[in-house]
């Protein structure tokens, strides 16, 4: 390592430590028994035997890797079958797989943005949308969280011939919903495209098919949705749901599609099985909701419209200490600090999951509340 890097790495690490912002990997044991109120495996499908079997079957049939970009060698009939299933079940004319939800957001916004396109992005959006905006070479207006007037004002005053508005359907840090119907009306009135990231709404909102589907907007021609296969679907990967004109444009111009190895067959097979279960077993989503209501009630907060309950604690040090105390008592909670949330809004974040029992939720919430009371 060069001397200039030695000094810089050491001082960066010291500064992070001082501000309570150091992140450390914790390696899960195979037989870990923590109560998980942190992961995004909302429906418990990552370990469902049918999903695991589908992943193994896909590996046997297609190999461990997809062997290249989808445009070269990495596009199997299995990839296409999942794309047809996604569009068939979640609505929308077409669907296109990416190797992650992150790559899907980067691909869509960079391919549909550009110097002649205004991009309007909500201040609460996920980092993948933030990065996509930066890479898009568009003029970007960041509007205050869920501020419809600010979106309308940005669109009204634009000089660019085209505009797109990007927003998370469920905000991953606080669990709130995008004001979808109103936003769609505003976009429609100003001839703008709406890009909706359904990462945390698939498997959770409505009958599990997400926010746009439950709002009757899944087939709206001016709506582009991104989804991840790595949360409620328990697998890995991402997809875009949109018109055929849009997905065709992405195949030809989205750099995270063209220059990226196709999604691994195991992930495709697993996601396909998980999607079939999600649609066939709506009681899974009901079970998730029951746990969500129990979680919120025990923590003394209103039930969120999603599966995410956040307890804002303020400074990062306190959030880390609470998360550590919970872990030592056998409960895994999320710990969100800047830049995931604004300064002063560090928090523990709990996710309701269908696989939790009533007892799990009771134990987890008791532990969290005790830790906060002790450490605050």
Residues that bind ligand PLP (CB under 6 A): 100-102, 105, 126, 128, 168, 172, 197, 199-200, 228, 230, 238
Instruction: Report whether the peptide linkage leading into residue 339 is cis, meaning its omega lies within 30 degrees of zero.
Output: yes
| Encoded tokens for 274 | 């998980």
Strand partners, 117: 162
> Is the CB of 90 or the CB of 321 nearer to ligand PLP?
90
Residue 200 and residue 307 in contact, taking contact as beta carbons nearer than 8 Å: yes
Least distance (Å) from ligand PLP to the CB of residue 208? 17
Q: What letters, b where the CB count within 10 A reaches 16 and e where it falls short, cover 70-98?
A: beeebbbebbeebbebbbebbbbebbbbb
> Is the CB of 199 or the CB of 355 nearer to ligand PLP?
199
Least distance (Å) from ligand PLP to the CB of residue 247? 18
Which strand (E) or helix (H) includes residue 363?
helix 358-375
Nearest to 376 by CA among 331, 317, 297, 290: 317
| Encoded tokens for 53 | 């079997």
Least distance (Å) from ligand PLP to the CB of residue 359? 28
Residue 38 and residue 351 in contact, taking contact as beta carbons nearer than 8 Å: yes
> Is the CB of 177 or the CB of 325 nearer to ligand PLP?
177
> Is the CB of 136 or the CB of 230 nearer to ligand PLP?
230
* Helices and strands per DSSP (H, E), number in the chain: 14, 11
Least distance (Å) from ligand PLP to the CB of residue 230? 4
Least distance (Å) from ligand PLP to the CB of residue 58? 18
Compute the distance between CA of residue 315 and CA of residue 20 in angstroms, rounded to an integer: 8
Least distance (Å) from ligand PLP to the CB of residue 178? 11
Least distance (Å) from ligand PLP to the CB of residue 125? 8
Residue 368 and residue 298 in contact, taking contact as beta carbons nearer than 8 Å: no
Strand partners, 309: 350
> Is the CB of 101 or the CB of 316 nearer to ligand PLP?
101
> Is the CB of 172 or the CB of 346 nearer to ligand PLP?
172
> Is the CB of 58 or the CB of 129 nearer to ligand PLP?
129
The CA-CA-CA angle for residues 101, 105, 110, to 5°, reads: 150
Give the residue at shortest CB distance from ligand PLP.
Answer: 101
């Amino acid at each position: 390592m060069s001397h200039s890097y030695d000094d810089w790495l050491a001082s960066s690490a010291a500064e992070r430590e001082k501000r309570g912002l150091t992140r450390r990997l914790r390696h899960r044991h195979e037989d870990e028994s923590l109560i998980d109120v942190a992961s995004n495996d909302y429906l418990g499908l990552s370990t469902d035997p049918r999903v695991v079997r589908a992943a193994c079957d896909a590996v046997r049939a297609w190999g461990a890797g997809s062997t290249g970009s989808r445009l070269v060698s990495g596009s199997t009939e299995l990839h296409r079958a999942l794309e047809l299933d996604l569009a068939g079940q979640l609505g929308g004319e077409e669907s296109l797989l990416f190797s992650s939800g992150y790559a899907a957001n980067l691909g869509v916004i960079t391919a549909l943005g550009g110097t002649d396109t205004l991009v309007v992005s909500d201040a609460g959006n996920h980092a993948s949308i933030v990065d996509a905006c930066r890479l898009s070479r568009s003029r970007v207006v960041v509007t205050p969280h869920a501020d419809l007037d600010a979106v309308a004002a940005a669109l009204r005053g634009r000089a660019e011939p085209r505009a797109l508005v990007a927003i998370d359907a469920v905000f991953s840090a606080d669990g709130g919903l995008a004001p979808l119907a109103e936003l769609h009306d505003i976009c429609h009135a100003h001839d703008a495209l709406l890009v909706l990231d359904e990462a945390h709404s698939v498997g959770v909102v409505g009958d599990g098919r997400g926010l746009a589907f439950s709002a009757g907007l899944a087939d709206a021609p001016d709506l582009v949705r991104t989804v991840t296969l790595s949360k409620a679907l328990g697998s890995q990967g991402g997809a875009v749901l949109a018109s055929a004109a849009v997905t065709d444009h992405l195949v030809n111009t989205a750099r995270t599609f063209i220059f990226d190895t196709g999604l691994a067959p195991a992930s495709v097979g697993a996601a396909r099985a998980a999607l079939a279960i999600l649609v066939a077993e709506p009681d899974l989503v009901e079970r998730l909701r029951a746990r969500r209501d129990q979680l919120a009630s025990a923590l003394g907060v209103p039930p969120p419209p999603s599966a995410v309950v956040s307890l804002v604690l303020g400074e990062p040090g306190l959030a880390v200490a609470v998360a550590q105390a919970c872990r030592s008592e056998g409960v895994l909670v999320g710990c969100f600090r800047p830049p995931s949330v604004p300064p002063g809004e560090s928090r523990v974040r709990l996710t309701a999951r269908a696989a939790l029992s009533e007892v799990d939720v009771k134990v987890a919430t008791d532990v969290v509340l005790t830790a906060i009371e002790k450490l605050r």
